[in-house]
Structure 1
């Protein structure tokens, strides 16, 4: 079995359709079908049955498909170990990154790192921080960047802090918020819990949500056009000088902060590529917030 054979099983098991799998793998359907037959001959079993509803895996085929993830991870680990033995910073760095950090911070950091280590490649997974933590716990990820406070037993570095702000086109008073239209956006669970808790501590009635959007970028454009107010991390408003901002505070009068962290494991530092990237982030980012 070659690496590409395990990839074929992995993709076909997920797609359950020859046409979709061949499109995903950029191979023709006859080529994919022929390769499946060769795998069946190698193991001496029937792997799939094709029907009107697509591909159905046999028990033997399902077992092999489930082994594909493990085999591909193991092969990747073997390759990384061999590369690491040469003491060179090379290979593929796997990152799981929160959406905002991936959009606004990560591209520049990766460019600077690749300028130093041109033989490095990147595999990046993005999403809300809660989902990133799940990926980090259950998949073969080297380093995670998350926003908000999550439990992690390994090393973690604080990269930045930002205020949570009430943003509006016109100046508004804090006491008037319950009667004003609020623009809400889909966000990470930890931020939603933080904002809901702050609201309950300060108001006896729920906020009046006038607009709901799925992206914070849409939310801030709504605010900029005077369609309501929003409660957002301050970095979202960078460059929006025409928007009024009020930093929210806790019951003790301290600013409520949104933190961004870098997480990794002690074991991953044994890899040259991970160690180099962690040191790079520490030297580039950490001095900016101290």
Structure 2
């Protein structure tokens, strides 16, 4: 069993589907199946059995796949620490970043950091903050940038505060909001809870939802075409959108804000790549101010 086997098992553990796993591994499905069959022969077990739409792990197969994940993690840590023993800053910085932050702020940050430290490579995973939190918990990433307040026993630094805004194509009376067509979008639970909490604080009736979209960008385009109103974080808004924006406040006048946090384990600072990136965020990048 070698590193390629560990990788194959780890990806299959995530996908639970041989076809999707082979696509992620950039190998053919027969080649992946052949590798898995050899593992079954080596250990004298059945790794999984096929079900409709994918696979179901056997107890032995699940144990071996989890072992493969552990070995991958140990190998990566060994590589990180070996590179850290050199005088210059080099290695791979593994980041998990909330999708919106990754889209609107991360590219500039990584470009400036790579200019200072050209021997650092980046491995970036993006998604909803709940997904990023899981990556951080499993040590799949060294640093997590998440939107919303999550419990974390390690180091936690506030990076960014932003307001939520009601957006519309034409001027509206926010007190009549329940009467207006409302456009929703898929998002993580922390933002959903924030929007629902504000709505319930201000209104006794639910929104008149006329459209559910897959993402915030689609939602904003619908608003631009005057198909309804929506609530978006300010990180998504630009003057060029030519929309009316209304900063949300609770009944007591408190602004409705969402926080973005940098989270990591203190032990990760032993790696030069991680320490320099954290220092860079603290000293060189002004990302704490909203639009």
TM norm structure 2? 0.86
Cα 1:154–1:168 change in 2 (3 A) is: same
Distance apart, 1:202 and its partner CA: 1.2
Distance apart, 1:16 and its partner CA: 6.6
1:1-290 correspondence runs (5 A): 1-11=1-11, 22-27=22-27, 43=42, 45-48=43-46, 61-240=61-240, 242-286=242-286, 289=289
* CA distance, structure 2, for counterparts of residue 287 and residue 55 of structure 1: 44
Partners of 2:160 and 2:260 within 8 A in 1: yes
> What's the secondary structure of 1:167's corresponding residue?
strand
Q: How many residues align?
A: 288
Partners of 2:159 and 2:261 within 8 A in 1: yes
Choose 1 or 2 for highest CA Rg.
Answer: 1
Deviations 1:36-88 (A, max 9, x none): 576567x5x33548988798877655543331101111111111111112243
* CA distance, structure 2, for counterparts of residue 56 and residue 211 of structure 1: 36
Name the stretch that deviates more: 194-203 or 80-89.
Answer: 80-89
* CA distance, structure 2, for counterparts of residue 193 and residue 82 of structure 1: 43
* CA distance, structure 2, for counterparts of residue 170 and residue 74 of structure 1: 56
Cα 1:236–1:50 change in 2 (3 A) is: closer
* CA distance, structure 2, for counterparts of residue 55 and residue 252 of structure 1: 53
* CA distance, structure 2, for counterparts of residue 231 and residue 16 of structure 1: 36
Partners of 1:47 and 1:57 within 8 A in 2: no
Distance apart, 1:181 and its partner CA: 0.8
Distance apart, 1:189 and its partner CA: 1.0
Cα 1:29–1:46 change in 2 (3 A) is: farther
Partners of 1:47 and 1:62 within 8 A in 2: no
Partners of 2:48 and 2:61 within 8 A in 1: no
Distance apart, 1:110 and its partner CA: 1.2
Cα 1:150–1:40 change in 2 (3 A) is: closer
* CA distance, structure 2, for counterparts of residue 74 and residue 7 of structure 1: 13
Distance apart, 1:218 and its partner CA: 0.9
> What's the secondary structure of 2:227's corresponding residue?
coil
Cα 1:288–1:260 change in 2 (3 A) is: closer
Deviations 1:144-172 (A, max 9, x none): 11112222232222222222111111111
* CA distance, structure 1, for counterparts of residue 176 and residue 5 of structure 2: 62
Cα 1:188–1:15 change in 2 (3 A) is: closer
> What's the secondary structure of 1:254's corresponding residue?
coil
Cα 1:203–1:267 change in 2 (3 A) is: same
* CA distance, structure 1, for counterparts of residue 7 and residue 200 of structure 2: 50
* CA distance, structure 2, for counterparts of residue 103 and residue 75 of structure 1: 30
Name the stretch that deviates more: 210-219 or 27-36.
Answer: 27-36
TM norm structure 1? 0.86
